[in-house]
Structure 1
Amino acid sequence: MTHMWVDANDCERRLFRDMLGSFMTGVTVVATRGGDGVVRAFTANSFTSVSLDPPLVLACLAKTSGSYDTFSSAEHFSISVLGDWQRQISNAFASRDPLVKADALARLGGADVPFVEQSLATMICARDRIIDAGDHVILLGAVERFQSKNGQPLGYFRGGYVGFGLAVRELEQLGAPLFVGGLLEREGRVLLCRRQGSDRWEVPGAALSAGEQHTGVLRSLFGRFGIQADASLLYSLFQEEGERRTTMMFSVETNGEAEAQSANGIEARLFGVEDSPWGLIDGEMKRGMLQRFFREREAGCFGIYYDTADGGRVAALDGKPLPWAEWRPGLPAKPAVAR
């Protein structure tokens, strides 16, 4: 099919804008504090890395923005790259409702330069220069310090948000029986829990009610053991034989110590490969998942498993999905369970 060329200088601006939306981007929040002490921030997907040496980045701001004067004179500003769990934050800073935006501004962290806490990455920048660019200006920033965490980014494409997982949100909204669990690893050891009176251990998990999001459930679940944790990547998606529910297992990250505390009659403990923890839990799929985790960790080569009729698939994080039978990290040890 032949497409017609459109004159960019002689067309409706909306048409040009829609074309630019064909480029998928991440989402950032750019924030600063003016000389009057008032905090300003806006959502931007016009963010670009410019230079590694020196470390330079840029974001674009419309000249019609109410924050134009503040950012044009600010000595420092932050750029926070949002994770897929921060969609509401993106909407708030893009909102035209002053009350919604004021509430979001009040939640920003940072004593000197405000920024979005718990974002995927945050950069604190000194203003390098302001560059005039048509109906926008380019804020060129020299990055002074930054922080980052594991997780999936919040994507934006053709006017809407997009996800990078295996349709996790779609699964959550179906109302089908779902079970969500978390693999938390610390120095080569994985956290398992055991209920009072039981001789079997479990990967921490809970049933997911219709409308609930896995991030909040896992955060609450690990919080009971005194661990501040967030779901990172979907690690395994399967259904145990004889079970109606689908299990979603996520790798879980924590910035603090993972010295688990037993709570409410549930014991928590970290197990290493020498403990053969897969032999301590029930469920063929879960046992195979634990074995795969230790093998992949030793090989430094991780994948995402999802169940299929022919034995499952593993999507390598740096390649295409492979048949389970072909997924063999280069280790001498082989799992006793097929998956």
Structure 2
Amino acid sequence: MTKFDPRALRDAFGSFMTGVTVVTACTPDGMAIGFTANSFTSVSLDPPMLLVCPGKFLSTFEAFSCCQHFAVNILAEDQQDISNTFARRGEDRFASVAHTRNHRGVPLIEGALASFSCIRRQCLPAGDHAILLGEVEEFQHGDGRGLGYFRGHYFSLGLERSALDPGAKVVTCGVILEIGGRVLLEKTDKGFRPPQVNLKDHSLLRQSLIDGMARHGISVKLGPAYSVFDHGGNRTHCAYFLATGSMNAAPENLHGIGLQELAGLDYASPAIAQMMTRYMHEQRTGDFSLYLGSTDRGDVHKFALGD
């Protein structure tokens, strides 16, 4: 059998963009159990069937592999905290998460975009996971946008679309990019800033940013939006994205800055200084967030990066 680098294979699998679900069930004595999964697939309309893939590393694996009934809850874009709760070990996950019970007693997550109550039909071994195949007994769904997952990042199409201001004269887009453990920054007459481009066509923002970085010799893969704000006076709309990538030949004005050095730099604007200070702290803790607002005030929306 061919041997692969597990991390590289996991990264390759992560290239598939998915939603996020919480799978729930009960133990034989009635205790609610659940885990976060993005390995969810609709299988059939007639009969209505779906599958999920619990990992054998789960403390509740035996209970899920033997359960007669389970539910799959598709999380909404504002339910990152619920996803993180059910991805962690060693706590009463349901104590902090609003939920109801279906007619089988299986927990259903309140506010989920959709929930499917299932009868277990098969549980097949599949390497370090199992394939849990269920027939849908009942379901419910509502309007809204789902929580997404791509390359180890949560993302929200709703939040990212709200980041695009069609009334802005210019959209400034940039990347917060670490290469070799150093953050890549551009040195300008006004101070340091992330590499960025100015766009007038908002429709292909991500691809235009990727192309703009390539012209600077930087190959990037964009992650989620990290900071989005308006300069009201000149109607400039700024959007900065977390990114991974590589650099061929560095232009003279681009510098790799150590994480601990970010706080002491002179930046091109107070808004960029605040953004980079926030990034420095969040990179250390791994607890990332998306800022939406103006240069003066705004809201922070928490999300997390995968391992």
Shorter chain as normaliser: what TM range?
Answer: 0.5 to 0.7
Q: Which residue of 2 aligns with 1:101?
A: 93
Deviation readout 1:225-283 (Å, 9 max, x if unpaired): xxxxxxxxxxxxxxxxxxxxxxxxxxxxxxxxxxxxxxxxxxxxxxxxxxxxxxxxxxx
Q: CA RMSD in A?
A: 2.6
What SS is found at the alignment partner of 2:157? coil
Q: Is the 8 A contact 1:120 1:153 kept in 2?
A: yes
- The offset of 1:174, in angstroms, is 4.4
Is there any run of 5+ residues in structure 1 with no aligned partner, and where? Answer: 1-7, 179-206, 214-339
- The offset of 1:168, in angstroms, is 5.0
Matches within 5 A, 1:23-62: 23-62=16-55
Q: How many residues align?
A: 176
Matches within 5 A, 1:245-284: none
What SS is found at the alignment partner of 2:9? helix
Q: Is the 8 A contact 2:27 2:67 kept in 1?
A: yes
Matches within 5 A, 1:309-320: none
CA, structure 1 residues 119+177, in 2 after alignment: closer, same or farther (shift >3 Å)? farther
Residue 211, structure 1, aligned to residue 203, structure 2? no
- How far apart, CA to CA, are the structure 1 residues paired with 2:12 and 2:92? 29
CA, structure 1 residues 169+42, in 2 after alignment: closer, same or farther (shift >3 Å)? farther
> For residue 298 of structure 2, what is the amino acid of its counterpart?
A
Q: Is the 8 A contact 1:80 1:119 kept in 2?
A: yes
User: With CA pairs under 8 Å and 6+ residues apart, which has the higher RCO, 1 or 2?
Assistant: 2
- How far apart, CA to CA, are the structure 2 residues paired with 1:78 and 1:38? 14
What SS is found at the alignment partner of 1:99? coil
- The offset of 1:166, in angstroms, is 6.4
Q: Percent identity?
A: 42
Deviation readout 1:154-184 (Å, 9 max, x if unpaired): 1100000122236256579646589xxxxxx
Deviation readout 1:69-117 (Å, 9 max, x if unpaired): 1112211100011111111111111123x3373534x532215110111
Is there any run of 5+ residues in structure 2 with no aligned partner, and where? Answer: 165-225, 233-292, 302-307
Larger strand percent: 2
CA, structure 1 residues 14+122, in 2 after alignment: closer, same or farther (shift >3 Å)? same
Q: Is the 8 A contact 2:39 2:53 kept in 1?
A: yes
What SS is found at the alignment partner of 1:17? helix
- How far apart, CA to CA, are the structure 2 residues paired with 1:24 and 1:125? 25
Q: Which has the larger radius of gyration?
A: 1
Q: Is the 8 A contact 1:120 1:151 kept in 2?
A: yes
Stretches of 4+ aligned residues off by more than 6 angstroms: none
Aligned match of 1:14 in 7, 25, 36?
7
Q: TM-score, normalised by structure 2?
A: 0.52
Q: Is the 8 A contact 1:61 1:138 kept in 2?
A: yes
- How far apart, CA to CA, are the structure 2 residues paired with 1:148 and 1:12? 39
Q: TM-score, normalised by structure 1?
A: 0.48
